[in-house]
Chains A and B, each alone.
Chain A
Amino acid sequence: MPALVDVQGLVKHFPGERALLGLGRPRAVVRAVDDVSFAIAPGETLGLVGESGCGKSTVGRAILRLIEPDAGRVTIDGQDVVALGARPLRALRRRMQIVFQDPYGSLNPRMTVRQMLAEPLAIHRIASGADAQRRIAALLEEVGLDPSFAQSYAHELSGGQRQRVGIARALSVEPHFLVLDEPVSALDVSIQAQVLNLLAELQRGRRLTYLFIAHDLAVVRHIADHVAVMYLGKIVERAPAPALYAGPRHPYTTSLLSAVPVPDPKAQRQRIVLAGDVPSPAHPPPGCPFHPRCPHPKKDARCRTEPPALREVAPGQLAACHFAEQPL
């Protein structure tokens, strides 16, 4: 089946800021996204995972052209998104929506839930008047909110309820493709599970395609068909979810998996605690970008000089590590 979303060689660099008052040397360019490729089949979910600052949100925004990519090809629903002019882009916007991480910052504090849901219906000329009211009631029901919440303001809602409103708002224009940018990261575990179940149900009911962004591999496992792991602007491993969880090939994936806390005091796990922080994407290390933190015992001079290519190491499983054949 042809992919619904196809991304090839996506690049987004941010110009380095100048120091105060524009004096001094300009800072180095931030390589937020550096040659990222993936495809998502209709009705499937790609989980995009990595630590803070690795470029996940930038990927999500660039493929929807909420920011302009510097290079690369993005095809959604058969349309070349990067080449699209303003008017056809607006039409395509109905087909692709984004739900943001922060359930506190992403809703307008001066609007009621009803107004927030009516707005996209009006902008895209989908419905108005009684028809819009009917749709809003149906949307609230679909995301599991009592219709009485239509009168509420954002500050009167809990985190989970706000995230449901954000999802309802994205769904109101009947998109085919949703970028979910850390939709549950700010929520308590119990509410996380509620929202993940809701997203899975909506996907089945509406045959939605998801790019699900998260920093936690445990959360993604419950929703993703494929998983891509990012580090410093690059995908370092990409595989069907069962293969990635059963046999990670990149030491970074292995480390991320081992960092997930296990709610079992008896579990005797070999914890790999990665030393140090993620390096700045303005100064990525030479060679393998992961080498300064890499716990692989075979790590050698090649890792410090030669960037490993993302290559297929098992059927459908790609990894960018010189030692992907001898995983940790």
Chain B
Amino acid sequence: MTEPLLRVRDLKTYFVTEQGSGTARAVDGVSFEVQPGETLGIVGESGCGKTVTSLSILRLIPEPPGHIRPGSVIEFEGRNLLTLEPRELRAIRGNQIAMIFQEPMTSLNPVFTVGDQIAEAAIVHQGLSRRVARTRAIDMLRLVGIADPEERVDHYPHQMSGGMRQRVMIGMALVCHPKLLIADEPTTALDVTIQAQILELLDRLQAELGMAVMLITHDLGVVAGSADRVAVMYAGQVVEQAPTAALFARPLHPYTEGLLASVPRLDAPPAREHGRLHSIPGQVPAATAWPDGCRFHPRCPYAWERCRAEMPPLLDAGGEGEPGTHTVRCWLLTEPRRRTPHP
């Protein structure tokens, strides 16, 4: 296997909350790798720690109230980002690692034209002149599929639709040809038609530019078509990780199973014919109060005493590939016969 582009080991990012409600262990021992050129999907419900994980990689966690715990490792091309000088970090951030955020409207500045905002990154990181950077901005708008880029370059964000703003964000992120793009729910606020456009655009750009992508979403349907591998997060931890085909063919963690079953599908009979849509009962607990034992046990249809008492480690699920290709944080792997839901 080649050297990974990004290696995250035992990442712990905690927040000390006000009013003494305790420490929010938003990300609590997360490990994964991203290979050059591949797409890693990160999936989980709201509050599972997906955004905090990506902000930690860029070291954009507000300190205080947040901090990355000692012992955490984030290596990019073999260099530990957590020990870099601010100057070295700036040279990587926005240049070699870029991010598109969840909210396209709030992350574009309303008082600058989209062209100026795209050009800015190229001026800061690559020392281009204003004139050359403007040409680069027009090229980026064209690359992300915006019609009339020469005219659009002088428009302000409010003159564009949600889908166009998200394209501008992608153009801005890609202007320095990063090796890694972190896309945090790039399509969640958009119509399905525009979502399909953006996902196709990301696929195409990835093939053309050879970059790696971390695609963050709460919808397993979105990663199925785009990701090479998927990490499922629950309550600040990775609970299952596998190549995409293996994960969908054999979802082993009860949380993955539940997430997959709750996606409304067009390729299966509608729930009306069976009565109910599958749903996971309850909700993600607060990050200050993760349950003891397996953090999923209060919502799990299989849980037994051991689940309430002991936290399961990431266990190897076997299957194709080398050991560690498909890992699952669930005691069922040690007692498969318990895989029958309680009434």
Chain A residues in contact with chain B, CB under 8 A? Answer: 51-52, 158-161, 188-194, 196-197, 200, 215-219, 221-223, 241, 245, 255-267, 271, 273-278
Q: Does B248 contact A (CB under 8 A)?
A: yes
User: Is B318 on the interface with A (CB-CB < 8 A)?
Assistant: no
A102 to chain B, nearest CB (A): 12
A241 to B272, CA, bound (A): 11
Contact flag A273-B200 (CB < 8 Å), given A194-B279, A257-B266, A263-B265: yes
Q: Counting CB contacts under 8 A, is B82 at the interface?
A: no
B338 nearest CB across to chain A (Å): 22
Query: What 3 pairs across the A-B complex have the smallest Cβ distances?
Result: A261-B221, A193-B279, A193-B262
Whether A222 touches B263, Cβ cut-off 8 Å, given contacts A190-B258, A215-B191, A255-B193, is no
Partner of B264, one of A219, A255, A266, A276: A219
Give the distance to chain A from B303, nearest Cβ to Cβ, in Å. 17
Q: List 7 A-B contacts (CB under 8 A).
A: A52-B191, A189-B263, A192-B264, A193-B262, A194-B280, A196-B277, A258-B196
Bound form: Cα–Cα A261–B215 in Å: 15
- Enumerate chain B residues within 8 angstroms of A278, measured Cβ to Cβ: 161
Q: Which residue of A lies closest to B190 (CB)?
A: A52
Residue of B whose beta carbon sits closest to that of A196: B277
A216, B266: Cα distance in complex, Å: 11
Neighbour of A265 across the interface among B162, B163, B193, B244, CB < 8 A? B244
- Contact in complex: A222, B264 (CB < 8 Å): yes
B residues 223-273 near A (Cβ < 8 Å) are 224-225, 244-245, 248, 258-260, 262-267, 270-272
Q: Select one of B161, B164, B225 contacting A262, CB under 8 A.
A: B225
- Please give, as numbers and ranges, the residues of chain B lying within 8 Å of A52 by CB-CB distance: 162, 191
**Which residues from chain A contact B263 at a C-beta distance below 8 Å?**
189, 263
A188-B45, A222-B270 in contact; A256/B265 too (CB < 8 A)?
Answer: no
- Chain A neighbourhood of B265, CB < 8 A: 218, 262-263
Q: Are B262 and A259 in contact (CB under 8 A)?
A: no
Is B194 close to A, CB under 8 A? yes
Check if B279 sits within 8 Å of A197, measured CB to CB.
yes
**A216 with B192, Cβ < 8 A, contacts A188-B46, A193-B278, A261-B221 known:** yes
Q: How long is the Cα–Cα vector from A190 to B281 in the complex, in angstroms?
A: 8
Choose from B163, B196, B272 the contact partner of A222 (Cβ within 8 Å).
B272
Question: Which residues of B come within 8 Å of A, CB atoms?
Answer: 45-46, 147, 161-164, 191-197, 199-200, 218-222, 224-225, 244-245, 248, 258-260, 262-267, 270-272, 276-281, 283-284
Q: Across the interface, do A200 and B221 meet the contact criterion of CB distance under 8 Å?
A: no
- Please, which residues of chain A bring their CB within 8 A of the CB of B248? 263-266
User: Once the chains are docked, how many angstroms separate the CA of A80 from the CA of B314?
Assistant: 63
- What residues on B are CB-neighbors of A222 within 8 Å? 264, 270-272, 277
A262 with B193: in contact, given A197-B279, A273-B200 (CB under 8 Å)? no
Distance (whole angstroms) from the CB of A63 to the closest CB of chain B? 23
Closest CB of chain B to A252's CB: distance in Å?
9
Residues in chain A near residue B244, CB distance under 8 A: 265
A190 touches B161 (CB 8 A): no
B191 → chain A, closest Cβ, in Å? 5
A51-B193, A158-B283, A273-B196 are contacts. A262–B267 as well, Cβ < 8 Å?
yes
| Extra 14 A-B pairs, beta carbons < 8 Å, given A188-B218, A189-B262, A263-B224 | A189-B264, A190-B262, A190-B280, A191-B45, A193-B264, A194-B279, A215-B191, A216-B192, A218-B266, A222-B277, A245-B270, A260-B192, A261-B225, A263-B221
**Cβ of B280: which chain A residues have Cβ within 8 Å of it?**
190, 193-194
Q: Is the CB of B192 within 8 A of A266?
A: no
When chains A and B are docked, how far (Å) is the Cα of A207 from the Cα of B308? 41
**Which residues of chain B are within 8 angstroms of A263 by Cβ–Cβ distance?**
220-221, 224, 248, 260, 263, 265
Q: How far is the CA of A271 from the CA of B196 in the complex (A)?
A: 9
- Bound-state CA distance A120–B186 (Å) is 39
Contact check, A273 vs B197: say whether CB atoms are below 8 A apart. yes
The chain A residue with its CB closest to the CB of B271 is A222
B203 to chain A, nearest CB (A): 11
B67 to nearest A CB, angstroms? Answer: 25
User: Is the beta-carbon distance between B194 and A190 smaller than 8 angstroms?
Assistant: no
Whether the pair A261, B224 counts as a contact (CB closer than 8 A) is yes
Nearest to A191 among chain B residues (CB) is B283
Residues of chain B lying within 8 A (CB to CB) of residue A188 = 45-46, 218
Bound together, the chains give a CA A15 to CA B169 distance in angstroms of 32
Q: How far is the CB of B200 from chain A (nearest CB, A)?
A: 5
Nearest chain-A residue to B145 (Cβ)?
A: A275
Nearest-CB distance from A188 to chain B (Å)?
Answer: 5
- A44 → chain B closest CB, angstroms: 12
A167 CA to B264 CA in the complex, in Å? 21
Please determine whether A264 and B196 come into contact, CB atoms closer than 8 angstroms.
Answer: no
Closest to B43 in A: A189
Indicate which residue in B161, B200, B220, B271 contacts A277 across the interface (CB closer than 8 Å).
B161
Set of chain B residues within 8 Å of A276, measured between Cβ atoms: 147
Partner of A256, one of B163, B193, B224, B262: B193
A190 touches B45 (CB 8 A): yes
Nearest Cβ distance between residue B157 and chain A, in whole angstroms?
15
Q: How far is the CB of B81 from chain A (nearest CB, A)?
A: 30
> Are B220 and A190 in touch, CB under 8 angstroms?
no
Distance (whole angstroms) from the CB of A214 to the closest CB of chain B: 10
A273 CA to B225 CA in the complex, in Å? 14
Name the B residues within 8 Å of A221 (CB-CB): 264, 266, 270
The smallest beta-carbon distance between A124 and chain B, in angstroms, is 32
CB distance from A241 to the nearest CB of B (A): 8
The complex places the Cα of A277 from the Cα of B278 at a distance, in Å, of: 33
Among residues of A, the one whose C-beta sits closest to the C-beta of B245 is A265
Given A190-B262, A257-B266, A265 contacting B45 (CB threshold 8 A): no
